[in-house]
Amino acid sequence: MLPSLSSYKGPWNEDAVKHLLRRTMFGAKRGDINLFLNLGLSRSVLKLLEDAEALPNPPLKEYTPTNAAIPDTNILAGKTWVNDPSNDGTILSLRRASFKKWWMGTLVMQGASLREKMTLFWHNHFSTEADEVRNSQFIYKHFNMLRTNALGNVKTLVKEICTDPAMLVYLNGQSNTKGAPDENFSREIQELFVIGKGVGANYTESDVKEAARLFTGWRNNSTQINSYFDNARHDTGNKQFSSFYKNKLITGRNNSTAGIDEINDFINMLFDTNEAALFLCRKLYIWFVYYNITPEVESAIIVPMAKILRDNNYNVKPALSALFSSEHFYDEMNRGCQIKSPVDLIVGMVREFEISFSSLDNYTVNYGLWNQLVSYCNFLQQNIGDPPDVSGWKAYYQVPSYYEYWLNSDTLPKRLQYSTNILSNGYTFSGFKMIVDVLSYSRKLKSPGDPNKLIEEVSLHLLGLPISAQHRDQLKKDILLSGQSEDYYWSGAWDTYIASPSNDTNTKYVKNAITSLIRYFLELPEYQLN
């Protein structure tokens, strides 16, 4: 099928819904599948984009500093630390860890919205490393900005990035002065953030130098947890840009608003180019659809998406709506073609099986469990909050491998080990176990007492793929029927479990059989695909 942004006319069934949810959220919970199935395509896309939910409450002090030079006594246990300035290395380290735990919990408990997937997209796009920024208050402020603007206006977001305290630290903006202009941020905002490195991105070294002069004068105040403009450090001269930017001359200012006024001019100049919209739409396509942007995809998907973005003054929702409503997005060739990122795998599994956590007031236990998820994503080479460098994770830009960077001889065995552990033994913190409840999961299926339908539904839910009759019958015989040939062997065991769950022998048999069935699907290569 030739790529097209024309509206999808195919069946709105579970397959289509699960494809949409896996790409726009993390995993597909049974409740979410049913919700979006009933909404239909247009209302489903509208709900994903509406961003109606309140922002998550900020991270809490769940840590106990033991060797901080300055005792962390300003904030009581269970209260947020995000507005409390601290320069103590131990406390900052504990708070950075606290932030990552909290963010993982936010991903696990996300609502039916695109916002969290887009927040991670912007984190990869405007990449910063928490360990380099160090200041945990700046880090939270940065991510709160990304989340607040995740589904908003791209120009507004880029403008805020320019004076964001964390970015000023990460790309040396706070050290950029008229006497010693630093080109780090001025280069990356053009090369990585807005214009890119495509064939039409013909900005020059002179443009980088002029932009560096324009960004001089910004500083951070760690006590007030913000950035501010110091005109005495600002280059007040005019900034002349190249023909790529239509020879734009940005008039230098010499007053208290010079910094933001010149940034406004610069942002408008960047987004006045065709390349800005094209570059962003390519990044969105790689994130949500596939990495191979063929000439046909460029002309039929990227170019019209970019036009929608420009025509709507760089508000991102209309372009995303067109993509998620298109024939191309639901094309069979675009389903199951992404290798799951570690976050997609780990968070998706937790959500697919609706793994239980402790009550919200028992925050120390929850943060401890979320930390285990953070650690496992890190083992799999996706350390949230700390991408490898300013370009983000290689899986979203590095030719020719792209998503294949997630799988190697180190990470694949760890992926399989995680699925085995979370299914069989679980992960425990302070006596609370994070584990798949296979019986609860099975009870929510449509026909768990029918071994044929049970296998088919688990396959469709976890893999998004139908299973052949021959394959199903072999699994049924080997796993659910324990070598028997009649379906009533399983149906009877399931009915006995429902009627008498306290029958330990029978319940154990049912639980072990379902666990083996789920493990079989989780260990298939197809489960690594989104």
The set of residues, in sequence order, having a beta carbon less than 8 Å from that of 314 and lying 6+ positions away, is 153, 154, 155, 271, 276, 277
| pLDDT reading at 153 higher than 80 | yes
Domain ends where: 417, 437, 457? 437
- Judged by DSSP in three states, 411 sits in helix
Q: How confident is the model at residue 476 (pLDDT cuts 50, 70, 90)?
A: very high
Distance (Å, rounded) from C-alpha 521 to C-alpha 37?
Answer: 24
Rg (CA), the chain: 25
Specify the pLDDT at position 204: 98
Residue 184 lies in a domain: no
Q: CA–CA separation, 196 vs 214, rounded Å?
A: 20
Percent of the chain residues topping a pLDDT of 70: 100
Is 514 found in the same domain as 428? no
The total number of structural domains that make up the chain: 2
Which DSSP category does 444 fall into?
T
pLDDT at position 70: 83
Residue 9 binned pLDDT confidence (cut-offs 50, 70, 90): very high
Same domain, 458 and 390: no
Q: Are residues 425 and 448 in the same domain?
A: no
Residues 433, 457 within the same domain: no
What is the predicted pLDDT for the residue at 315?
Answer: 98
- Domain boundary residue, one of 437, 453, 470: 437
DSSP per-residue letters across 370-410: HHHHHHHHHHTT--TT--SSTT--GGGT-TTTGGGGG-STT
451 and 430 together in one domain: no
Two tokens, residue 437: 């409840």
pLDDT band at 198 (very low <50, low <70, confident <90, very high): confident
Q: Is residue 317 part of a domain?
A: no
Give alpha helix (H) positions in 149-302: 154-162, 165-170, 184-188, 205-214, 258-271, 274-288, 295-297
522 and 448 belong to one structural domain: yes
Question: Is pLDDT of 154 > 80?
Answer: yes
Check: CB of residue 92 under 8 Å from CB of residue 71. Answer: no
Q: How far is CA 191 from CA 178, 246, 274, in A?
A: 22, 18, 15
Asked if the structure places residue 389 within a domain, the reply is yes
In sequence order, the 6+-apart residues with CB closer than 8 A to the CB of 176 are 182, 185, 212, 215, 216, 217, 218
Arithmetic mean of pLDDT, 56-65 = 96
- The tokens of 377 are what? 């994503």
Which residue would you say has higher pLDDT here, 281 or 465? 281
Same domain, 510 and 449: yes
420 and 382 in a common domain: yes
For residue 221, report the phi and psi dihedrals to the nearest 5 degrees: -120, 105
Asked if the structure places residue 372 within a domain, the reply is yes
432 and 505 part of one domain:
no
| CA–CA separation, 147 and 434 (whole Å) | 27
Q: Which single residue is written with the structure tokens 């239980």? A: 356
pLDDT band at 345, cuts 50/70/90? very high
Parent domain of 474: 439-528
Q: Tell me, yes or no, whether 431 and 463 share the same domain.
A: no
pLDDT digits (tens, 9 = 90+) for 90-137: 999 999 999 999 999 999 999 999 999 999 999 999 999 999 999 999
Tokens of residue 112, six digits: 């039916």
pLDDT of residue 381: 97
Q: How confident is the model at residue 77 (pLDDT cuts 50, 70, 90)?
A: very high
pLDDT value at 464 more than 90:
no
Q: Do strands 239-240 and 249-250 pair parallel, antiparallel, or not at all (unpaired)?
A: antiparallel
What letter represents residue 192's amino acid?
L
- Is a pLDDT exceeding 90 seen at residue 67? no
pLDDT value of residue 207: 98
Cβ-Cβ contacts under 8 Å for 382 (sequence gap 6 or more)? 341, 342, 343, 393, 406
Structure confidence by residue, pLDDT tens digits, 390-448? 999 999 999 999 999 999 999 999 999 999 999 999 999 999 999 999 999 999 999 99
pTM assigned to the model = 0.97
CB atoms within 10 A of CB 36: 26
Calpha distance 242→253 (Å, rounded): 20
How far lies 10's CA from each of 103, 110, 304, 333, in Å? 36, 28, 21, 14
Structural domain ending residue among the three candidates 387, 409, 437: 437
Residues 422 and 444 in one domain: no
C-beta of residue 374 within 8 angstroms of C-beta of residue 343: no
Report residue 414: phi and psi, to 5°.
-70, -35
Domain membership of residue 272 (yes or no) is: no
Q: Considering the domain boundaries, does residue 365 fall inside one?
A: yes
The separation between the first and the last C-alpha atoms of the chain, rounded to the nearest angstrom, is 20
Query: 181 with 217: CB under 8 angstroms?
Result: no
Arithmetic mean of pLDDT, 341-349: 98
Give domain status of residue 211, yes or no: no
Q: How far is 27 from 343, CA to CA, in rounded Å?
A: 10
pLDDT tier, 52 (very low <50, low <70, confident <90, very high otherwise): confident
- For residues 381 and 447, state if they share a domain: no
- Amino acid identity of residue 273, one-letter, is T
User: pLDDT value at position 370?
Assistant: 98
Classify residue 417: in a domain, yes or no. Answer: yes
Mean pLDDT to the nearest integer, 439-464: 95
